[in-house]
Amino acid sequence: MNVSELARILKLPPQELREKLPKLGFHIGQKAIKIDDRLASKIINQWPTLSKKLASTQSFRDRQAARIEQVPAVKKKVELPAFITVRDLAALANLPVNKVLGELMKNGIFASLNEKIDYETAAIIGADLGLEISAANEEAAQTEEQDRKLSDIIDKEDAVDLIDRPPVIVVMGHVDHGKTKLLDAIRSTNVIAGEAGGITQHIGAYQVTRKERVLTFIDTPGHEAFTAMRSRGAKIADIAILVVAADDGVKPQTIEAFRIIEAAKIPFIVAINKIDKPEANLDKTKQELSNQLNLVPEDWGGKTVCVPISAREGTGIEELLDMLLLTAEVESATIKANPKASATGTIIDSRLDKGEGPVATVLIQNGTLVIGDQLLFNGTIYGKVRALKNYRGENIGEATPSTPVKIIGLKVAPVVGDIMETGEGEKVKFRNIKSGLTKSGSTIASQVDDSNAKKINIIIKSDVLGSAEAIEESLEKIGNNEIKVKIISKGLGNIAEGDVVKADANKAMLVGFNVKASPQAEEMARGKNVSLKTYRIIYDLINDIKALMVEQLEPEIRRNDLGKLYVKAIFRTENDIQIFGGKVIEGRVEKNSFIEVERGGQLVGQGKLLELQSGKESVNIVETDEECGMKYQGDVVKENDILTFYREDKIAKKL
């Protein structure tokens, strides 16, 4: 048989086969072209065992080498964006471009100098080149750019035209500490009735009047899945209320909410809620605020304003509003806008309405928005204002600074967090609005970069775009290098047959949030075996997807070294079964463990312990300095050999 033919059968390059065979006792020569048929047949039949033996030998050598102490090299730290060209990667790493290209080729990637590679590929290549790779915070840079854009617009205004505007207030905190109930108490309306799990599902905005002064409240979702939307809420707010329950204290989401407020650099007030409960403990809550967040209350000699309230009973609400007004007066120098300017604002909600088409809620931050204004996002015309509605659903003619208003007249739903302007811009023909597509016709859902990781394809349908974005961002965070979520598309409205067809074509799951599936779609999903689920509580959706991802992770095989044994006598040898005796010289020996055979400092074989005896009795474990007999299956063992015993444990992986 030709050596090349044998290599093809064993799925190896011929040269690699020529190098491996001598290590396994088959000396055919480095330049051999042909090999004896009987020898070839023997190699083919024994190859699974031979290749495992070779791998064990290499593993043994690696472990031996790892014992040699080496001085760790100082790795160069490099921050990389989501995508980077090969040329830029080489420049950042201060390495020759050819070296980077060579490393890419070793990993089967053939790229040109100006071709972009994704972050994960760059991280793997960087690690091979001795670099310490970390991700650049592009999201923060983008947010800073948007903030700078708004600041530039306001700063350009004539100081003479700047006037005080209502302060914008955001309520943040743990999922069930009473944020929505607090807003309910402030507005004296019941918005919580019927909300699943007591969690606010959409961003809204409301206004109240206290002592003839208007206050604007941003109503943000309460669960950790909406971190991105909460963050946007903090970025556009002037003052924050951090809600902490007196019966529950500081929780991880409380800390997360505070970090967002801290990053936004806005003043805040702590509202200690649920003081009406018997288990409420104000002192303990204040102690946790001091210890975990370094927030020392004013009555303890600190600077943090803490207002005890009961949103359920209405206790302390007026005092809280008065503290908000006082804080707004202190910050009045920055809470200003020019109502005479062209309108500018931030999108805080976006959805597709059956009767009104694409609609969005915008918080006006400067200028005045009037009916007939042309709406721009990033220089592109999204439509013209046909109608404006306030938070009560009433038609209004204009929206002044700090006013939340629903806009009707958009051609396509903008993205939550977008900066809206008015004026002249680029006219674009929009298509496929219902499926959540942009002007180019490509999906607005972010795409998971191609890699060797397993993919769980998902199609999201939701009632509002903000919820779909929050779900997408949360799902993308729970993946790792082995398994990822890939959002095929996200759209608005109920699940229809077309969605099932798309899911079937992409082997994707269909998940709906606050929407229903038509009977025809459900029947088609059952027929095509497409997974279709609808949810009303966001973290149920996240947890279900996370559980599915964990199920698909391959368990990690972890080697657990047990001990060593010195072989004193061989009693019987039959084929690959041997019975021998020895003494445990290190650790312990366990029944059914795997064995490596070491002879003269070299790994010469491997096998498995079938039976273990001590004092003519079958046992499961033999400890150090004890003698034992054993039945063994594997490569031949000789007297004076040193046997290493180990166990292979399957460890379930976590995300």
pLDDT digits (tens, 9 = 90+) for 370-427: 999 999 887 778 889 999 998 888 899 999 999 999 999 888 778 777 788 998 876 6
> What is residue 151's predicted lDDT score, i.e. its pLDDT?
57
Per-residue confidence at 431, pLDDT binned at 50, 70, 90? very low
Does an H or E element contain 622, and which?
strand 621-623
- Given a cut of 80, whether residue 53 has pLDDT beyond it is no
> What is residue 577's predicted lDDT score, i.e. its pLDDT?
93
407 or 85: which leads in pLDDT: 407
- Given a cut of 60, whether residue 199 has pLDDT beyond it is no
Per-residue pLDDT, averaged over 80-90, amounts to: 78
Per-residue pLDDT, averaged over 286-298, amounts to: 91
* Nearest alpha-carbon partner for 240 in 143, 291, 172, 301: 172
* Nearest alpha-carbon partner for 178 in 291, 296, 275: 275
For 395: left if phi > 0, alpha if psi spans -120 to 50, otherwise beta; the answer is beta
> What is residue 226's predicted lDDT score, i.e. its pLDDT?
45
- Given a cut of 50, whether residue 72 has pLDDT beyond it is no
Q: What whole-number percentage of the chain has pLDDT above 70?
A: 82
Per-residue pLDDT, averaged over 17-40, amounts to: 80
> What is residue 192's predicted lDDT score, i.e. its pLDDT?
43
Fill in the amino acid letter for 118: D
> What is residue 178's predicted lDDT score, i.e. its pLDDT?
79
Q: What is the mean pLDDT of the chain?
A: 80
Counting Cβ atoms within 10 Å, is residue 35 exposed (0-12), middle (13-18) or buried (19+)?
Answer: buried
> What is residue 587's predicted lDDT score, i.e. its pLDDT?
93
- Given a cut of 50, whether residue 268 has pLDDT beyond it is yes
> What is residue 328's predicted lDDT score, i.e. its pLDDT?
93
Q: What does the alpha-carbon distance between residue 455 and residue 70 come to, in Å, rounded to a whole number?
A: 39
Per-residue confidence at 566, pLDDT binned at 50, 70, 90? very high
Q: What does the alpha-carbon distance between residue 99 and residue 119 come to, in Å, rounded to a whole number?
A: 18
* Nearest alpha-carbon partner for 350 in 421, 407, 395: 407
> What is residue 159's predicted lDDT score, i.e. its pLDDT?
56
> What is residue 392's predicted lDDT score, i.e. its pLDDT?
81
Per-residue confidence at 148, pLDDT binned at 50, 70, 90? low
- Given a cut of 60, whether residue 153 has pLDDT beyond it is no
**Alpha helix stretches (DSSP H) within 236-373:** 252-264, 282-293, 317-330
> What is residue 13's predicted lDDT score, i.e. its pLDDT?
84
Orientation angle between helical segments 227-235 and 252-264, nearest 10 degrees: 30
Is the overall model pTM greater than 0.75, yes or no? no
Range with the poorest average pLDDT among 32-36, 60-64, 78-82: 60-64
Per-residue confidence at 258, pLDDT binned at 50, 70, 90? confident
Question: Which two three-digit tokens encode residue 122?
Answer: 């760059």
Report whether 502 contacts 459 (CB < 8 A).
Answer: yes
619 or 441: which leads in pLDDT: 619
- Given a cut of 60, whether residue 197 has pLDDT beyond it is no
Report whether 134 contacts 80 (CB < 8 A).
Answer: yes
Counting Cβ atoms within 10 Å, is residue 432 exposed (0-12), middle (13-18) or buried (19+)?
Answer: middle
Q: How far is CA 278 from CA 25, 174, 182, 274, 287, in A?
A: 80, 20, 19, 9, 19
> What is residue 450's predicted lDDT score, i.e. its pLDDT?
45
Per-residue pLDDT, averaged over 596-602, amounts to: 90
pLDDT digits (tens, 9 = 90+) for 231-242: 556 568 899 999
Domains defined along the chain, listed by start? 3-66 (no CATH), 76-135 (no CATH), 166-331 (3.40.50.300), 337-422 (2.40.30.10), 454-552 (3.40.50.10050), 556-651 (2.40.30.10)
- What does R_g of the chain's alpha carbons equal in angstroms? 33
Per-residue confidence at 511, pLDDT binned at 50, 70, 90? very high
Question: Which two three-digit tokens encode residue 384?
Answer: 């013209």
Distance from chain centroid for Cα 269 = 30
* Nearest alpha-carbon partner for 332 in 238, 210, 264, 262: 238
Per-residue pLDDT, averaged over 323-334, amounts to: 92
> What is residue 638's predicted lDDT score, i.e. its pLDDT?
93
> What is residue 173's predicted lDDT score, i.e. its pLDDT?
82
Q: What does the alpha-carbon distance between residue 86 and residue 311 come to, in Å, rounded to a whole number?
A: 57
Per-residue pLDDT, averaged over 216-239, amounts to: 63
Per-residue confidence at 468, pLDDT binned at 50, 70, 90? confident
Per-residue confidence at 136, pLDDT binned at 50, 70, 90? low
- Given a cut of 50, whether residue 193 has pLDDT beyond it is no
> What is residue 631's predicted lDDT score, i.e. its pLDDT?
95
Question: Which two three-digit tokens encode residue 596?
Answer: 């490596």
Per-residue confidence at 646, pLDDT binned at 50, 70, 90? very high
Q: What is the largest CA-CA distance in the chain?
A: 104
Per-residue pLDDT, averaged over 275-295, amounts to: 92
- Residue found under tokens 């969690």: 199
